[in-house]
Amino acid sequence: MKRISRPDYAPEYAYGVCISAIVDEEERNRMMAAIGDVRDTAVDFIERAIAGSTFELPPLIAGRGEDPIVVADIRKSELVKLYEYYMVQRPLGRKIYDSILLAAEDNCPTCGGIGRPRSLDHYLPKANYPKLSVLPHNLIPACRDCNTDKGNPLFTQPHEQLIHPYFDQACFFDQAWIIATVTHTQPCAITYEASPPGAWRPVDHQRAVNHFDFFDIAKRYSIKAAEELSVLVDQRRSLMRDLPAESFKAYLHSIGDSSTLFPNHWRKVMYKALALDEWFCNSQL
């Protein structure tokens, strides 16, 4: 939905930093011995994220109460703890955590900035990909709704993959693929849908639609639009009541064409739709 800069860390950096906070020397050395394997897994993930093929990475499947060995003699619970304790709660790891969170600049990239990031979400869930539990490139700043709604899904097909804000193709971020429609009702409303360009590859088209539906973007965008539309209608009835329809249309276009909003921002898409809707521009609302 919204591109953000990828974390500027070496693939194995966060793993090493979190391990350095382990007090017990034997445990610390045992965990550090696996850093090469963890680095190779991280590099593989990054390469696949760039290629749009993370669905090919085999997940770890463990039954309830099971704690399998993942690498060397290191168990799943130990790798998960690296994130839940040594990254989230310990100062050295928390510094990395906070730097990733702040990079989103208070706009959740998953939902196009509707929510404000409050935590980091694992693009591939740590329960099934424990070697990626503290990899910054697998950690996405997320608002509460996106993090809660996502859960821990396992995607096995290319079209199911969610859009990765660090690595995915430019078309997802630089091209308009969300459209809005104005309902000719009293009061009027804005509805949204995913409508990628016809020139896109089928798999990219399906991924965009899947991401849009998975996070219920249509409903969340419409809620934001309703707030804005209510204010706009009041302005049209009062401050802009004497403004000719063509001038009102030009005003709407000026907001929809603003370069300060990314192509699929709910507000940009809304104003473009309003400017092109003759009923809205010419009616007395």
Helices 13-20, 25-32: axis angle to 10 degrees equals 170
pTM over 0.95: no
Task: Examine the pLDDT at 285 and tell me if it is beyond 70.
Answer: no
Question: What pLDDT is stored for residue 221 in this prediction?
Answer: 98
User: What are residue 38's phi and psi, to 5 degrees?
Assistant: -65, -40
Closest CA to 3 of 174, 253, 227, 257: 174
pLDDT in tens, 58-96: 999 988 889 999 999 999 999 999 999 999 999 999 999
DSSP category for residue 57 = S
Question: What pLDDT is stored for residue 284 in this prediction?
Answer: 67
pLDDT in tens, 16-32: 999 999 999 999 999 99
Q: Which helix (H) or strand (E) holds 38?
A: helix 35-51
Question: What pLDDT is stored for residue 153 in this prediction?
Answer: 87
* CA 282 to chain CA centroid, nearest Å: 37
Question: What pLDDT is stored for residue 148 in this prediction?
Answer: 87
Q: Give the mean model confidence (pLDDT) for residues 188-212.
A: 97
pLDDT class of 149 with cuts at 50, 70, 90: confident
pLDDT class of 228 with cuts at 50, 70, 90: very high
